A and B are shown apart, each in its own frame.
Chain A
Amino acid sequence: MIQVEKLCKRFGELEVLKGIHCHIQPQEVVCVIGASGSGKSTFLRCLNMLETMTSGDIVIDGDRLRDPRININDIRTEVGMVFQQFNLFPHKTVLENVMLAPIKVRKISKQDAEKKALALLEKVGIREKADNYPEQLSGGQKQRVAIARALAMEPKIMLFDEPTSALDPELVGEVLEVMKQLAHEGMTMVVVTHEMGFAREVGDRVLFMDGGIIEEEGDPEQIFTKPKSERTKEFLNKIL
């Protein structure tokens, strides 16, 4: 589903990604962990070209992102993203947030978009807030709306960029619950997270990033109980 080869990204002098290799299978849930500054968010943002890679190659569902004939907007309709800061549109209601892209990009009718949006809001357990504005919601509710908004485009892949890091601790669970449900339905997911419990329980594979490379990857059970790399051990000791 996703093939990443020798992915490098630099910001001026700063080399953030130093050659990432990674293949992600359909329906796989990959959790990316690592200290801040290790490049995990940049890696994720390269996958939908919110950051343009400096060198290397990314293939998403058969489309090479470097191919100049590729329309990045088409790729992005297949790759949903959920942000740490939610980034809901504050001037639109919850329902309008979810309906906007299907109407403008997929060109579906307003009635169909509304029907679908309401169904998605139902799914993330927040249908009763459809007519509210984002500022009237709690952080957990906002993030669930953001997930519904991304799902409205019917993406094949979902990217999560630290989706629970901006939440009060008691609100983390409701967001993880929705993500877990999504994983069980077979969504291909790449999740940058500090929630080790989630990575362990839901992840099919864990990537540990350090200094712009994937230092270690493997089955969550193995990574968390028998890490091979010293750097992984050090990191896990600090946070667990």
Chain B
Amino acid sequence: MIGRFDWAGVLDFLPELKTGLYYTLLISIVGLLIGFFLGAIFGLGRVSKNKFAYSISTIYIEIVRGSPVLIQAIWIFYALPLIIDFNLDSIVAGIIVIAINSGAYIAEIVRGAVESIEKGQMEAGRSLGLTRRQTMWHIIWPQALKRMIPPLGNQFIISIKDTSLLSVILVPELIFQSRNIAANHFNAVEIYTTVAVFYLAITLSLSLILRIVERRLNVN
């Protein structure tokens, strides 16, 4: 079976795949960085006593979690420019999609982690005269951050794979490149399998990094 495939031929397309890998990584990293900030802000909104912050955060999270990434990408790339009357570059649009999408899930991770910190920690901080915000920042947040690492790692991996859907908005990432190559050279199995190995390499390295970080943080 294996002999019927032309694995060596894949090497000819390495330049295109390299470009694809570059965009996949670029969008994943920048998108997740922004997503983490969004998640932190809206996650704290979810545990806030401020009704407005709570409502806005809840609406954002529910809309994003309740709709497919593919449709979010189409909204942002095709519909958003009509509303704001400004054309978005597909790469910028791709980053926005990953940021907004991962942000909603990360917000729930943040909320879960903050709520998992014992109530006595907030009380101890407040009883010393620290404000709610100071207690959050100096006492709750550092402890919550540690508990967020495993679910964050999970979400990072999901979001990295979600970038594969961005080919529909013409982001020249790995899947977009593969589709072009396969359409012209009829080597879909070889190309997509190779690309799957690329994804695995990214996600496995991420898992490894997270495991090291986790171990470091547990030392004390």
Residues of A in contact with B (beta carbons under 8 Å apart): 48, 50, 73-74, 76-77, 79-81, 83, 85, 87-91, 100-101, 104-105, 133, 146, 149-150, 153
Closest 4 CB pairs of A and B: A87-B124, A77-B129, A101-B128, A87-B120
B82 at the interface (CB under 8 A from A): no
* Interface of B, helix, strand, loop or mixed by DSSP: helix
The answer on a CB contact under 8 Å between B220 and A74 is no
Q: A80-B127, A150-B128 are in contact. Are A90 and B143 (CB under 8 A)?
A: yes
25 A-B pairs in the complex with CB atoms less than 8 angstroms apart: A48-B127, A50-B126, A50-B127, A73-B131, A74-B129, A76-B128, A77-B128, A77-B129, A81-B124, A81-B127, A83-B120, A83-B123, A83-B124, A85-B118, A87-B124, A88-B124, A89-B121, A89-B139, A100-B128, A100-B130, A101-B129, A104-B134, A105-B129, A105-B130, A153-B128
> Which residues of B sit under 8 angstroms from A89, Cβ to Cβ?
121, 124-125, 139, 143
Residues of chain B from 58 to 76 with CB closer than 8 A to chain A in the complex:
none
Interface residues on B, range: 10 to 19
B151 at the interface (CB under 8 A from A): no
Residues of chain B from 121 to 154 with CB closer than 8 A to chain A in the complex:
121, 123-131, 134, 138-139, 142-143, 146
Residues of B in contact with A (beta carbons under 8 Å apart): 118, 120-121, 123-131, 134, 138-139, 142-143, 146, 220
> Which residues of B sit under 8 angstroms from A79, Cβ to Cβ?
127
**With A and B bound together, what is the CA distance between A48 and B125 in angstroms?**
12
Closest residue of chain B to A74 (Cβ to Cβ) is B129
The answer on a CB contact under 8 Å between B128 and A149 is yes
